[in-house]
Structure 1
């Protein structure tokens, strides 16, 4: 979309404009917006601007023809009225800035909790091969703490986490599957003990991958048949590893061995069917498949979360539990964290957080080149009266927008349970 420079005197309601000012140098919430009132035009003029950039494709009205421009004296709002309007806009903008600061503090707290959990997971996975008794106990303590947090509130916000370092995908994948499985278990009405069981099982479901050669795990070309057969052995390797200690719950061993089984018998290693698979295994299988489709070995084949959820619902209900797929959609929303979206006002952003009780109104980081990225607004769509128009593939973003939004290659989630939804 191409903008054109026009005189402020040609502006009218319905024009979509961009102000050539720093975000902090005007009272409006955004530097780009559709004009909704005569007073907004007068406020733009009051800023001392002679020209603005107007986007015809985003505007519901064309600018005034030059010959129809009225004299400012005939159309200007009273100064006292403008004073009141500007003060109200500035106060609202300041309120949103403070809420944004609170949102970022909550996000940072979730990031720190996520990193602590990852650190614990790295340590316990290393211990599983040398000190399995200690590792099992530490894994159960980690899961018990997360379950306690999940049960401490009826409402939470699921946040997008930072990128994973190369070579650590197993830790991010395992923690992601564990967190989402526990969220689903809570939503499905599982008991506290069942939530702990599914969380622990999901945390160690891919432990057998530690015995697969690194060159196979990192290979982006199609695996040869022998390599694929070896990779499939990770379920048996994991079961053997957990079988070294009698303290590992049998429920976890079943999940580790059977999480690649499918309801129609098309899975591995034993070709089991629905009636032979317990509900914990079926739940972890759904989340594992979701995360694997988002993050395949060959990242060029990765699908965005929005597409993966749709794909599972349309194509995997014979292989995976349909009810649990539905619960996953209910938890993540149709616009999961990590989705790049275009809003109803034409702006582009990155979904940062969702509240399962308000799925159509996630919090979105907005692309605005007039605002430094570290200060970019993260807005609650319901709070500002916007909706999502469509999802955009990150690969289709112009380079400056891609760099600004920094869409994640590895999409991981953690939750903040300390507040009702923060609106920024």
Structure 2
């Protein structure tokens, strides 16, 4: 869409404009919007701009003629508009402060995520030679995470900006542990039960360390012998856990049964319904979700929104329906990592979901007038914007893709809202 330079004195209600300013230099929620009333007109003129950019395709009317006389405003109306402008500026400052605090929280969250990932690598490296030490360290890691999870009623799930490659087992295991813990908490489980679930989730795929890398990274369909070998990872995970007598018995069914399906079509034993351990059923749902987002063949990866929809629509017969519904509720309709189009047609990246306000995630906005590292993050609960639809990242224009940087690998971590 073409942007036309337009003198400020030609503005009128109904024009869609873009301000030639940084987001922090004006009181409006966005850098571009449709002028809806006299107050917005007054605010724009008070910014001492000589011009703005007009977007005709989005405007409901045409600009005023060049020689138009400005509409007279009474002293009383002028004072009222000035007071409203001051309120908007105060609100904008609050939003800017909120954005700073939010980014600090995300930085803290990313540090915790990186620390947990490093600890998990250390644990896995010791599981064969020093199993008791490995399990003890795993207990410490899980206890720290569960304590953080349980200390607040208001927990935000954040999208992590990880850059590591070829460490799929660690990212996947930590992802499954994080989401399983939050799911268990949402289900009202005790801290002790959540710890057992977290330990099982962290170790559920460790048996893959004994599966040849060529099988794990194969992107074409596995042969039957290869598939049989891969399926042995549940047995191997259990064997590794049994090396340490301190590994909780309550966690072991998760290692053994996270590929069992309630309709009996799973493995290794083909268990059905209640024959499958309840905690294993919970982790199975989360494991299926994360695997859809990160399959062996990257070209088949689903965006988080699509992965949740696919599970809910096509796998109800195979997974615990209560846990699937709870996962949708926990992640929000548009989980972190989803690229979305808003009601003003602007694109953004969902970067966190507040579990107490699932329909109003925090969205990082694409705005080419703002540097990507300063891009505004909008809390949809506080504004009029809504999400209209999810957008596949591979359908984004290159400049939008580079700006939003949708992750190839979707990793999550949580942060209690202080």
Scaled by the length of structure 1, what TM-score is found?
0.92
Asked if the contact 2:338–2:350 (Cα under 8 Å) also holds between the matched residues in 1, the reply is yes
Asked if the contact 1:42–1:76 (Cα under 8 Å) also holds between the matched residues in 2, the reply is no
* SS of structure 2 residue aligned to 1:350: strand
* SS of structure 1 residue aligned to 2:348: strand
Q: State whether structure 2 residue 329 is matched by structure 1 residue 330.
A: yes
Deviation of residue 300 (structure 1)?
Answer: 1.3
Deviation of residue 92 (structure 1)?
Answer: 2.5
Asked if the contact 1:133–1:245 (Cα under 8 Å) also holds between the matched residues in 2, the reply is yes
Number of the residue aligned with 2:29 = 29
1:121-163 CA distance string (max 9 Å, x none): 1100111111111111111221122122222121111111112
Number of the residue aligned with 2:242 = 243
Q: State whether structure 2 residue 207 is matched by structure 1 residue 202.
A: no
Distance 1:334 1:89 in 2: 31
**Paired residues for 1:6-405 under 5 Å:** 6-59=6-59, 61-64=60-63, 66=65, 70-72=68-70, 74=72, 83-405=82-404
Asked if the contact 1:349–1:367 (Cα under 8 Å) also holds between the matched residues in 2, the reply is yes
Distance 2:358 2:117 in 1: 27
Distance 1:332 1:321 in 2: 17
Distance 1:284 1:24 in 2: 43
Bigger shift: residues 6-15 or 379-388? 6-15
Distance 1:329 1:185 in 2: 13
Change (3 A) 1:88 1:205: same
* SS of structure 2 residue aligned to 1:389: strand
Distance 1:147 1:37 in 2: 50
* SS of structure 2 residue aligned to 1:72: coil
Asked if the contact 1:350–1:365 (Cα under 8 Å) also holds between the matched residues in 2, the reply is yes
Distance 1:10 1:219 in 2: 62
Distance 1:164 1:235 in 2: 28
Change (3 A) 1:417 1:25: closer
RMSD (CA atoms): 2.2
Asked if the contact 1:58–1:346 (Cα under 8 Å) also holds between the matched residues in 2, the reply is no
The count of corresponding residues between Structure 1 and Structure 2 is 417
Deviation of residue 331 (structure 1)?
Answer: 0.8
Change (3 A) 1:237 1:76: farther
Asked if the contact 2:204–2:254 (Cα under 8 Å) also holds between the matched residues in 1, the reply is yes
Distance 1:196 1:107 in 2: 24
* SS of structure 2 residue aligned to 1:323: helix
What runs of 5+ residues in structure 1 fail to find an aligned partner? 420-424
Distance 2:78 2:311 in 1: 58
Asked if the contact 1:235–1:258 (Cα under 8 Å) also holds between the matched residues in 2, the reply is yes
Bigger shift: residues 213-222 or 285-294? 213-222
Asked if the contact 1:348–1:366 (Cα under 8 Å) also holds between the matched residues in 2, the reply is yes
Distance 2:182 2:388 in 1: 27
Bigger shift: residues 215-224 or 268-277? 215-224
Deviation of residue 343 (structure 1)?
Answer: 1.3
1:285-337 CA distance string (max 9 Å, x none): 00000000011111111111111111111111110000000111111100111
What runs of 5+ residues in structure 2 fail to find an aligned partner? none
Distance 2:18 2:354 in 1: 31
1:49-104 CA distance string (max 9 Å, x none): 45433334434x2224649x731254799776665454443332222111111111
Distance 1:296 1:2 in 2: 41
Number of the residue aligned with 1:422 = none
Distance 1:275 1:368 in 2: 50
Number of the residue aligned with 2:413 = 414
Asked if the contact 2:109–2:414 (Cα under 8 Å) also holds between the matched residues in 1, the reply is yes
